[in-house]
Amino acid sequence: MKSEKGTEKTKIKKILAAVLLLIVFVMVRQQTAESLEHGSLQRKEPGEGSSQKSLEAIVDGESYDINVEIAERRFTKKEAKKELKKAKKEIDATFLGDNKSLNSVKKPVVMKDSYRNGNVEAEWRLDSYDVINTEGEFVKKELPKKGVLLEACVLLSCGEETEEYSFGFHVFSPDLSVREQIETALEKQNQKNKTKKNFILPKKLGKKEIQWKAKSSHTVGILLLLGAVTGILLKFRGIEEERKKKKKREEELLLYYPQLVTTLALLIGAGMPVSKAWGRMANRYKKEGMAKNAAYEELCYTWNEMQDGVGERKAYENFGKRCGFWQYKKLASLLTQNLRKGSSELSELLSKEAELAMEQRKNLAKRLGEEAGTKLLLPMMLMLSIIMVLIIVPALVKF
């Protein structure tokens, strides 16, 4: 009896759960229907990318399936100004990096390309790049005791709104480790008296004396070194295979780039949204048995990302970064710019990019033909290396 009651309770719970899900489904459909009755769909917030909706349009009793791509919402002028203001505060909070004050900069500074989660783009300028480069790293390790005053200027842009932000900072010689100080002293000494036969080692490091000793070479150390070299040579085949795989991937990315861009340009030119064209190319690659290649594999990976919920803009940016080559980064930039600002000339830009890519492919094919002639040198170099090891090892052991 108890088991029958338990089974009955389970059935009741399942029925209640099903009813609850049905109620939720009906409510969601009702809310969607109400919003459509008012003729509006909600846009995604700035930075989230465009969204796609599948709708049903009814005209004179006839039903039509319509796919619509809705661009993300743009910042209003007031909102953009607020974002620029917040970006300035973010710069104030991040620029110093591990430094404590603008009056005493001894470590690298942080100059990012964008702020506010990518909503505000930044272009940095320094009045001099002799001390710190565009990456915020030190170019010179020795500066005057009084330091160097620099001015940084960053052009911030959010949508159509732009604003410049400038500030000064005082740079001093970076704090060096003892090893770095010794290396710097040796470099300075090496630049002096190059006409003399002897190289004079520095005797002091600041107020501390330096004692120099020649490192003695031992037979055991030599044998260990030669053993390591031999091990590297034995493993060379595996390393060479990895290098070939990497090279093959890079060649495939360059060789298939014109085809990828041309197909994308044709589909977009035919009126297809970018994301739908991207998905169609990915599905065609999987189903029609195209030759496996790195370019379309990355295209499929990007499509899977979008299917898994990654924003369209972020997915294209990831695509450009994974492929690595500037051509792919440029393509990703064109697509993300199209999402951010919209561009009726995207198809034309892609067509021009395809023409340029075809020309580059011809040059690549010519270079690959020239490289094929030099591949026979590799086995000869390997044999020479092994012979040298066999000759040198016994001689060094006897020595």
Residue owning tokens 């661009």: 71
**What pLDDT score does 244 carry?**
86
**What pLDDT score does 352 carry?**
84
| Position 34 in a domain | no
User: pLDDT per position in the chain (399 positions), as tens?
Assistant: 445 555 666 767 677 777 677 666 655 555 555 455 556 777 777 766 677 777 777 888 788 787 888 877 888 899 999 999 999 999 999 999 999 999 999 999 999 999 998 899 999 999 988 889 989 988 877 788 899 999 999 999 998 899 999 999 999 988 777 787 777 777 777 777 677 777 777 777 777 788 777 776 555 566 666 667 766 776 777 788 888 888 889 888 888 888 888 888 888 888 888 889 999 999 999 888 788 898 899 999 999 999 999 898 999 999 999 998 888 898 889 888 888 776 567 878 888 888 887 887 777 777 766 665 565 566 667 776 777 676 676 656 555
The total of structural domains in the chain comes to 2
**What pLDDT score does 152 carry?**
94
Stated pTM of the model: 0.39
- 68 and 173 in a single domain? The answer is yes
| Position 162 in a domain | yes
- 160 and 290 in a single domain? The answer is no
**What pLDDT score does 73 carry?**
80
Q: Could you tell me the residue range of the domain that residue 175 belongs to?
A: 47-191
| Position 113 in a domain | yes
- 178 and 290 in a single domain? The answer is no
- 59 and 182 in a single domain? The answer is yes
- 52 and 171 in a single domain? The answer is yes
CA nearest to 81, candidates 155, 164, 154, 162? 162
Amino acid at the residue 151: E
Could you give phi then psi for residue 63, rounded to 5 degrees? -100, 135
- 89 and 186 in a single domain? The answer is yes
| Position 230 in a domain | no
Distance CA 44, CA 54 (A): 16
Which strand (E) or helix (H) includes residue 367? Answer: helix 346-372
| Position 399 in a domain | no
- 243 and 186 in a single domain? The answer is no
| Position 154 in a domain | yes
Could you give phi then psi for residue 103, rounded to 5 degrees? -85, -10
Q: How far is CA 5 from CA 18, 19, 226, in A?
A: 20, 21, 80
Please name the residues in contact with 152: beta carbons below 8 A apart, sequence gap of 6 or more.
Answer: 95, 111, 124, 125, 126, 166, 167, 168, 169
- 150 and 277 in a single domain? The answer is no
Q: What share of the chain is helix, strand, coil (3-state, %, to 5)?
A: 55, 15, 30
Q: Using DSSP, state whether 35 is helix, strand or coil.
A: helix
Q: Using DSSP, state whether 73 is helix, strand or coil.
A: coil
